[in-house]
Amino acid sequence: MDPAHTDVLSCPFCDFSDSDTYFLTQHVELCHPENGFSPFIAAEEESSQTHITGPDEPHQSSRGDSPQLPSLSYTPNESAFIDGYVECPHGCGEVITNAELQLHLDLHVAEGFAFEEVNASTKATGQNDAFGDDVLFDDEEAEFASILPKGDRDDILQSKHPRKGSDRDIPSSRRSKKSKKGQSHGVGGSVRRLGRSELGPYAHEKQMPAWLWRLLEDGSKVTWTNQIQPDGKLHKVAVVANETDRVIPVLRQLCDQDDSVDQAYFCSPLVKHVFKLPKEGGFCGYRNTQMMISYIQASGAQGCDHFPGRLPSILKLQDMIEDAWDAGFNPTAKIETGGIRGTRKYIGTSEAQALFQYLGIRCEPFAFNSTPELSANEALRISILDYFRQGSSAEGQAKKAIQTELPPIYFQHHGHSMTIVGFEIRKNGSGNLLVFDPMFKASPGIERLIDTKVNSTNPARLLRAYRRGADYLRKYPEFEILK
């Protein structure tokens, strides 16, 4: 069924609408539960809250050691008194703005799709659910790919004005750059301390709670499993609970089978989807940095020697970023943030760039702002499409779903960051980013298809959690990426 001509149904309780009756039902159950109880939200017993006491004696850290931590109990609603923020009622531990709550909960629904649910609901409704994050596409958005010839776009695609007003913001003084050792760019009266608008709800926190420190210090559970490798031999493979490998080949096959997709491009299949631990909260910037590093490790790319073994932990990345600042890479950020070691302050493109430059890994940032000729979200999507087209061969261009060996892209907007792993052009002319979102794990339906020949009767529903199109992006006035 053509998504542009699909009947759109509206939620009776809010302005949400969708042409998928199954997804609309899930939305109502999760966002507007009867009597305040949703079957999609696990109830948490009071006895499950564990009291964790911090160290008795102060312990100063330089690298790898825990700083002094307060004696705190884990309380799921500790953010309830932060104006403008709310903890996700689904129980994931993410603290988000009130304005983003509905979308966040809808993505939890997509995160939970099982392969059986997709096939069963398709047969029940008789629909070919051929749409993604966007339901309706107007003519203006459908023409985004041909708005300007490439030669006229350079100034728009490489805007020198970084975005403002984001909790992963990069004000002009935070643009990461190499300085001579011992010098700071703009350090002095012109440097201001950032607040919640840039650093999130815990911008003024000196140390994260002890229970969270220990959660991050212990890391995700690792199990060992026997897997048949490409050489036909059985090998023991470590499986990390918050890392999912080999997802991109599944997404590529799903796009190939989705009738609404005209062409799709993907980055290297070596990138892992890294997602947050339960209850960890807003460390998306670190998780996206880990996804970038997963590509560097697996591909043997420049800088891989800096990351032996497992992916560096969030605590390790905090140490490395502070080392980069001390070495003269965007040193004003240390003054602006007050330091990030041992805290829950948000990081973003600036910190990732400083880290990679410090380690000698080439990278390039871009900022996108709206102009009279082009909106920021259109300029962003044109740039990402150009990136993937230039990285694919002429032979590959003839395919519908194109696999490249390109690195992924660090992507952020106000309030959140993700990792771009692909781009798709729809048959109606619109375009979607394809992302790994660290807030959400791979759905059971996706996990079941890993290392298989995919044959899905409803590929669009499984792709929903990975698509970010015009309806999503137009809500944000500015974007940044790090290639």
- Is residue 68 included in any domain, yes or no? no
- Is residue 322 included in any domain, yes or no? yes
Q: What's the confidence (pLDDT) of residue 157?
A: 37
Q: What's the confidence (pLDDT) of residue 458?
A: 86
Residues 144 and 91 grouped into a single domain? no
Predicted confidence (pLDDT) at residue 49 exceeds the cutoff of 60: no
Q: What's the confidence (pLDDT) of residue 97?
A: 65
- Is residue 69 included in any domain, yes or no? no
Average pLDDT, the chain: 74
Q: What's the confidence (pLDDT) of residue 440?
A: 85
The two three-digit tokens of residue 93, written as one number? 């531990």
Predicted confidence (pLDDT) at residue 133 exceeds the cutoff of 80: no
The two three-digit tokens of residue 207, written as one number? 């140390």
Residues 284 and 365 grouped into a single domain? yes
- Is residue 66 included in any domain, yes or no? no
Predicted confidence (pLDDT) at residue 16 exceeds the cutoff of 70: no
Residues 120 and 203 grouped into a single domain? no
The two three-digit tokens of residue 337, written as one number? 């943030």
Q: Do the Cβ atoms of 377 and 479 come closer than 8 Å? A: yes
Q: What percent of the chain has pLDDT over 90?
A: 43
- Is residue 448 included in any domain, yes or no? yes
Predicted confidence (pLDDT) at residue 53 exceeds the cutoff of 70: no
Residues 121 and 144 grouped into a single domain? no
Going from the C-alpha of 171 to that of each of 157, 348, 365, 418, the distances in angstroms are 18, 11, 13, 19
In the chain, the number of structural domains is 2
Residues 190 and 87 grouped into a single domain? no
Q: What's the confidence (pLDDT) of residue 321?
A: 98
Work out the pLDDT band at 483, boundaries 50, 70, 90: very high
Q: What's the confidence (pLDDT) of residue 87?
A: 74
- Is residue 368 included in any domain, yes or no? yes
Work out the pLDDT band at 314, boundaries 50, 70, 90: very high
- For the segment 407-433, the average pLDDT, to the nearest whole number, is 94
Work out the pLDDT band at 268, boundaries 50, 70, 90: very high
Q: What's the confidence (pLDDT) of residue 216?
A: 92
**Which pLDDT tens digit goes with each residue over 322-344?**
999 999 999 999 999 999 999 99
Work out the pLDDT band at 36, boundaries 50, 70, 90: low
Tell me which of 68, 103, 125 is where a domain ends: 125
CATH at 201: 3.90.70.130
Residues 157 and 280 grouped into a single domain? yes
Predicted confidence (pLDDT) at residue 98 exceeds the cutoff of 70: no
Residue 372: domain span? 139-482
Which of 326, 304, 277 minimizes the C-alpha distance to 438?
A: 277
- For the segment 354-379, the average pLDDT, to the nearest whole number, is 96
Q: What's the confidence (pLDDT) of residue 228?
A: 72
- Please give the residue that has the higher pLDDT: either 317 or 146: 317
- For the segment 13-25, the average pLDDT, to the nearest whole number, is 58
- Please give the residue that has the higher pLDDT: either 115 or 407: 407
Residues 108 and 188 grouped into a single domain? no
Residues 289 and 183 grouped into a single domain? yes
The DSSP-derived string for 13-81 is SSS-EES-HHHHHHHHHHHS-GGG--TTS----GGGPPEE---SS----SSSS------EE--TTTTTT
Question: Residue 294's Cα: distance from chain center in Å?
Answer: 14
- For the segment 5-18, the average pLDDT, to the nearest whole number, is 61
Q: What's the confidence (pLDDT) of residue 235?
A: 75
Residues 151 and 18 grouped into a single domain? no
- Please give the residue that has the higher pLDDT: either 397 or 429: 429
Lowest mean pLDDT among 136-150, 201-215, 425-439: 136-150
Highest mean pLDDT among 35-39, 170-174, 386-390: 386-390
Which of 152, 104, 85, 161 minimizes the C-alpha distance to 479?
A: 161
Residues 102 and 158 grouped into a single domain? no
Predicted confidence (pLDDT) at residue 269 exceeds the cutoff of 50: yes
Work out the pLDDT band at 220, boundaries 50, 70, 90: confident
Predicted confidence (pLDDT) at residue 392 exceeds the cutoff of 90: no
Residues 249 and 380 grouped into a single domain? yes
- Is residue 402 included in any domain, yes or no? yes
Residues 98 and 185 grouped into a single domain? no
Q: What's the confidence (pLDDT) of residue 191?
A: 77
- Is residue 174 included in any domain, yes or no? yes
Q: Do the Cβ atoms of 473 and 383 come closer than 8 Å? A: no
Work out the pLDDT band at 111, boundaries 50, 70, 90: low
Q: What percent of the chain has pLDDT over 70?
A: 60
Predicted confidence (pLDDT) at residue 360 exceeds the cutoff of 80: yes
Q: What's the confidence (pLDDT) of residue 178?
A: 43
Predicted confidence (pLDDT) at residue 170 exceeds the cutoff of 50: no
Q: Is the dihedral of CA 332, 336, 338, 340 positive or negative?
A: negative
Q: How many separate helices (H) and strands (E) can be counted in the chain? A: 16, 18
Predicted confidence (pLDDT) at residue 278 exceeds the cutoff of 50: yes
**Which pLDDT tens digit goes with each residue over 444-470?**
889 989 999 998 888 998 898 899 999
